[in-house]
Structure 1
């Protein structure tokens, strides 16, 4: 499987990258980045790019991929609506539209618990996420929308957002408690990566909007 990865420098993307590099089903990973990842691996090739609203210059690099894992995203906290919409919706759709025409291709998008599929709710971030999901699901590939709740880093992955890093450092003890008391609302970076590979292998089977319980269940599937 040839994987195209966005957001490899973020906490979720770091975990997904690690899973992909460790999985024998993955032949190659092409990571679209603005800055070097500092990771050396024979499967990994970094594609340096600046303008995330236009990926036409990378068209040749996108050829031949089997799955695109879109893990790039930001918190809406402290950001204006225009900036949040640009990063959350415009970057995502620009990437999806730049992919080669292939109805067998799998596209996974990390959205979030509470996303508003109706696009009519009071929360601006949830409406933007909902619009992004809806447009992806209408495109000619196998789209999977991942809606995790709390995500626990599995192998020391670190968020690029400072207050997220503080939150995880201060609340690292909390995950076992959440897993016991609210198992339907928690997952891990490793489970996200494993679930993405599983849906990519299925090519269109199953539900296309996945919550934490679905993600955790798919992560336990052993595919020959």
Structure 2
């Protein structure tokens, strides 16, 4: 099954890693990147839209029709942000785009990068985990084919331009962590492969923890 996918956040570490898997995967026919700044990627599969305001997608709405999947890798850290601003940039922004996509592509598969420790109950003590949990729950109500990805430590794909500085310095820990704590460590290649596989084949779970991501990534 060939699919056309939308990727957000391709100028970040997770989005770039997912995009690289899509570029090389034979089942991905077309990739639409929606970013605030150019990625610099030139590839026959890729079309890119530069759009700065994700709270107003009306000018590009017609270009978002006809897609099979959205790999939503756009996100912000809660560090230094107020609770209200973090909710706005996480829950509100994601659902604004998701609602538009659901209206134009009702059968679309929506893959959302959440995070290990996300609170599905929305009642826990950790504010960011509650917001992520609320976002996940809303997306699963909106799409019948919605999959929540909860990675932990992710190993970047060789050649990536966008790698968080912390990962550059502690990347050597990955083989040890993967061996001792496999439930907390995966690669971005596995995340990307898992997204493609759920878009083409589905998965038995809609919330994918690290071990699930690794398993689904195998196909």
Shared topology, TM-score over 0.5? yes
Is the CA contact 2:67–2:105 (under 8 Å) kept in the aligned structure 1? no
Go from structure 1 to structure 2 and tell me whether the alpha carbon gap of 1:64 and 1:215 turns closer, same or farther (over 3 Å shift). Answer: same
Q: Is the 8 A contact 2:120 2:136 kept in 1?
A: yes
SS at match of 2:149: strand
Greater mean alpha carbon deviation, residues 54-63 or residues 99-108:
99-108
Q: Give the corresponding residue for 2:216.
A: 218
Greater alpha carbon shift after TM alignment, 62-71 vs 90-99: 90-99
* 1:108 partner SS: strand
Shift of 1:159: 4.5
TM-score in terms of structure 2 length:
0.94
Which of 31, 34, 45 is the aligned partner of 1:32? Answer: 34
Question: Does residue 1:49 correspond to 2:51, yes or no?
Answer: yes
Q: Is the CA contact (8 Å cut-off) linking 1:15 and 1:193 kept in structure 2?
A: yes
Find the aligned partners of 1:89 and 1:79 in 2 and give their Cα distance.
14
**Conservation of the 8 A alpha-carbon contact between 1:145 and 1:210:** yes
Provide closer, same or farther for how the CA distance between residues 52 and 106 of structure 1 changes in structure 2, counting only shifts above 3 A. Answer: same
**Whole-angstrom distance in 2 between the partners of 1:185 and 1:63:** 36
Distance of 2:104 and 2:73 partners within structure 1: 21
Aligned pair count? 216
Instruction: List structure 1 runs of 4+ shifted beyond 4 angstroms.
Output: none
SS in 1 for 2:37: coil
Stretches of structure 2 that go unaligned for 5 or more consecutive residues are none
Matched, 1:180 2:164: no
* 1:8 corresponds to 2:19: no
